[in-house]
Structure 1
Amino acid sequence: MTDQPAFTVEVHQNRFLPAGGTVVDAVLDVTAAGTGLAAAGGPPSAAQVIMIDCSGSMNSPATKMQEAKKATAAAIDALRDGVAFAIVAGRGNADMVFPSTVSLVPANRQTRGQAKNAVHRLQASGGTAIGTWLTMANHLFAPSTAEVKHAIMLTDGQNQHETAEQLAMVLRACQGRFVCDTRGVGADWSGSELRTVASALLGSADGLPDPGELVADFRAMTETAMGKSVAEATLRLWTPAGATIRFVKQVFPHVEDLTGRRADVSARIGDYPTGSWGAEHREYHVSIQVPANAVGEEMLAGRVSLVTGDQVLSQSLVLANWTDETALSTQINGRVAHYTGQAELADAIQQGLAARDAGDVETATAKLGRAVQLAEESGHSDTAKLLGKVVDVIDAPSGTVRLKQKVAGVDAELANVRSVKTIRVKGS
């Protein structure tokens, strides 16, 4: 049994609406302070599955397979004693590496050693069908009573041996059952595919062109999972009669649209999944359409709670006041403006790259130019550098760019997979 971390939910908004105004926007600043673990208790029970791409391309160059083995060993060493785990080899199908049966085993000195020996013997061959790997992970997690279920999926290529529809069906089956962090290694993976899996399974996605980065990254992902102190929390949103939720998005540390994941508690209350929490900070953008009221009227536009089980961890209010004072109603809250721009930045990059791949130079130039402009405005220097490898920037403030004639495939995929990463408001 654990004590809950100290959660706070702070609302940033301009609550003043003009006469006839109906849209209320707010950014929710959610912080879990400290681990909050009871001295006599401990962290939530956990399970981890590591899916390693063992397709033939992992030997080209051989350093990918070598470093993947080292990284998996580092992740195994980072598991707490007693955490249930398994290693899966991903090819055109999924094979158990350790244990030999489709099951999870508790981590201890003996099983860690056996697992690392089994990983060391792995050889690269065959193709890539990510859905089969995830299906195996789902089977492994299904009988487990672990509170935190975490998976790592590594691939060096694209999902060539199954259709997008097949992968989507697998993701629907896995959704809500475990969290999955996805990583691409080398230069031939697909940023869209990594984001699709991570988004569906509430994980992170990234690409590592240098295989030497895998060890530190695998260790960090596992340590983060081992540091979770709340297994599952939901953002619960109450709205008044006549109100409509326009959207609910996580906007920091990355953009994730949660609108379609609402689980109705009642007609006016909905839960949105946020996954597991350690000591960390996240921000969410909530947009609510409310019935217009008379000037001078005030209403509660929303009540936001962070909930685990039946326990409310923190709560805050979203308000609306109607005014005829233009100076009040035209102010745009800095947080809301900042994250609206970053969500637009992610969309512009993804749409621009898709248009580029489709040969639509005009749309690609316009979208990527807008992305460069937004990156400049928001101080997203890392994103600006990635975009600079895809376009020649003529004038960043105006978004004037020219598509590069020759672009390394990995540079475009890095821009894609990292498009959803956000930065906090300057000075906050």
Structure 2
Amino acid sequence: MSDFTLHIDHNKYLPVDGTEVHAILTVAATGSGPARQAKPAEAAEIIIIDTSGSMSGSKIRDAREAARTAIESIRDGVHFGVMSGDNSARLIYPRGRQLVKATPATRAEAVSAVRGLSANGGTSIGEWLRAAANLMDAHPNAIKHAILMTDGQNNEGDAAFAAALRRCEGLFVCDSLGIGNDWVPGELRKVAEALLGTFAFVRNQGELKDFFRDLTQQAMGKTVAELALRVWVPQNATLKYVKQVSPTLLDLTGKGTAVNPLTGDYPTGSWGTEEREYHLCVEVPPGAMRAEIRAAWVKLVLPDTGEVFASGNVLASWTDDLAQSTRINRKVAHYTGQAELHELIQEGLSARAAGDVGTATARLGRARQLAEDSGRTDTARLLDKVVEIDPGTGTARLRRNVDKADEIELDTGSVRTSQMRRNPEES
């Protein structure tokens, strides 16, 4: 198992009557724990390929090649399966109702099976995920992961799709990929949010196999099935939110489960050698001048056993020294800006789709300025394809005839954040 560290960045000083404490939690897994020398962790992997009618031609050929690449990246001993998805879900390998252990022979059989994938029917993403959940149920102690690829819009109703996501939540992590211009980023965003995964746009269809390989190799590197941020706050305080802010934005607030009246567990999914950052906000009652309290006690734990891997305190102290109370921690400011950029892009694209030109122009214009100010040249480049800024007046104007692929790339890319190196002098 990996060794973990937890570092907390925040300005503990609040002004008189100040009540809101913000902190960035940096959690790092070094991969140097004792279990690295032990046998690999039990794992289960499912590859879900959209085989609806719109996947005909080059799409299904590239999907077969991507599935082959993923299969060959699965390590020996991992339980795995390959699923074909249209209006329903079919386990094309292995035949039956359970996953099979990866060996050179079973991988070869799976590669042979995916050669027969063909395109026909509709798209029912929730059905595919339900079928994956049924297979994962047989592996309660495994690190469970799925890759889902689609090129189309989900045909299910909102209620059915939401129910499917609830069925899968907490059971396995799912990373999703969209190809072509007909899929809906908001649908795969829901999968990512519910199942603590990522979603991405494969703009160049020929690179699909590279995405599959990378995601599978990352999954094979996981060593811990499930960890939670266990957050205690004092009486009369309120935990306003817990959000993952790096490497992608993910709101965990609604996923908390109560440990006791003052403590909740917030799931983080499976871990390998990696670093993630979280934004914690706690509202506390105003305190006496120069009083100091523990506004939150954060632990990284195995939820089932309560075993603690790292812990730290978020402090609050009241002062009338403006130099102290008005200093904004650089990391808090950085990720607050990243979250604002994401929200502006999402609001702007939604307004544009609804025909609200005024709101779309204002939001996307502001996003373009914020991207430039924060050094997000990648996002600024994508925004330039949707909104035009007059260099003389700074006035924004929506571009006409925007390439659908450019819009999808901006939408999906807005959840990714840029990381900021920690200043060792800050606390």
What TM bracket, shorter-length normalisation? over 0.9
Q: Does 1:241 align with 2:235?
A: yes
Q: Assess if the C-alpha contact under 8 Å between 2:242 and 2:253 holds in 1.
A: yes
Q: How does 1:11-410 map to 2 (within 5 A)?
A: 11-38=8-35, 41-59=38-56, 62-159=57-154, 161-308=155-302, 309-395=305-391, 400-410=395-405
Shift of 1:37: 4.7
Q: What are the Cα deviations for residues 280-311 of structure 1, in whole angstroms up to 9, with x where unaligned?
A: 01110000001111111111111111112321
Amino acid at match of 2:89: A
Amino acid at match of 1:305: K
Unaligned residue ranges in structure 1 (runs of 5+): none
Of residues 28-37 and 333-342 in structure 1, the stretch that sits farther from structure 2 once superposed is 28-37
Q: Which residue of 1 is the match for residue 410 of structure 2? A: 415
How far apart, in 2, do the equivalents of 1:88 and 1:289 lie? 46
Give me the TM-score of the superposition, normalised by structure 1: 0.95
- Which among 416, 421, 425 is matched to residue 420 of structure 2? 425
Shift of 1:39: 5.9
How far apart, in 1, do the equivalents of 2:90 and 2:188 lie? 21
Q: Assess if the C-alpha contact under 8 Å between 1:37 and 1:43 holds in 2.
A: no
Amino acid at match of 2:278: Y
Q: Assess if the C-alpha contact under 8 Å between 1:262 and 1:272 holds in 2.
A: yes
Shift of 1:145: 3.4
Unaligned residue ranges in structure 2 (runs of 5+): none
How far apart, in 1, do the equivalents of 2:125 and 2:156 lie? 8
TM-aligned CA distance change 1:111 to 1:140, over 3 Å: same
How far apart, in 2, do the equivalents of 1:107 and 1:302 lie? 44
Shift of 1:364: 0.7
Secondary structure, aligned partner of 2:317: strand
Of residues 137-146 and 223-232 in structure 1, the stretch that sits farther from structure 2 once superposed is 137-146
How far apart, in 2, do the equivalents of 1:236 and 1:395 lie? 48
How far apart, in 1, do the equivalents of 2:128 and 2:260 lie? 36
How far apart, in 2, do the equivalents of 1:152 and 1:239 lie? 36
Q: Assess if the C-alpha contact under 8 Å between 1:68 and 1:211 holds in 2.
A: no
Q: Assess if the C-alpha contact under 8 Å between 1:88 and 1:97 holds in 2.
A: yes
Shift of 1:427: 7.1
Of residues 374-383 and 23-32 in structure 1, the stretch that sits farther from structure 2 once superposed is 374-383
How far apart, in 1, do the equivalents of 2:84 and 2:312 lie? 45
Q: What are the Cα deviations for residues 11-44 of structure 1, in whole angstroms up to 9, with x where unaligned?
A: 1111100111111101111111125253652232
> Which contiguous aligned blocks of 4+ residues in structure 1 show a shift greater than 4 angstroms?
none
How far apart, in 2, do the equivalents of 1:218 and 1:400 lie? 42
Q: Assess if the C-alpha contact under 8 Å between 2:141 and 2:225 holds in 1.
A: no
Secondary structure, aligned partner of 2:112: helix
Q: How much identity, in percent, do the aligned residues show?
A: 48
Shift of 1:338: 0.6
Q: What are the Cα deviations for residues 217-250 of structure 1, in whole angstroms up to 9, with x where unaligned?
A: 1111011111011111100111111110111100
Q: Assess if the C-alpha contact under 8 Å between 2:2 and 2:36 holds in 1.
A: no
Amino acid at match of 2:403: A
Q: Assess if the C-alpha contact under 8 Å between 1:231 and 1:276 holds in 2.
A: yes
Q: What are the Cα deviations for residues 345-368 of structure 1, in whole angstroms up to 9, with x where unaligned?
A: 111111111111111111111111
Q: What are the Cα deviations for residues 339-391 of structure 1, in whole angstroms up to 9, with x where unaligned?
A: 01111111111111111111111111111112112211211111111111111
Give me the TM-score of the superposition, normalised by structure 2: 0.96
How far apart, in 1, do the equivalents of 2:341 and 2:270 lie? 27
How far apart, in 1, do the equivalents of 2:66 and 2:123 lie? 20
Q: Assess if the C-alpha contact under 8 Å between 1:180 and 1:197 holds in 2.
A: yes
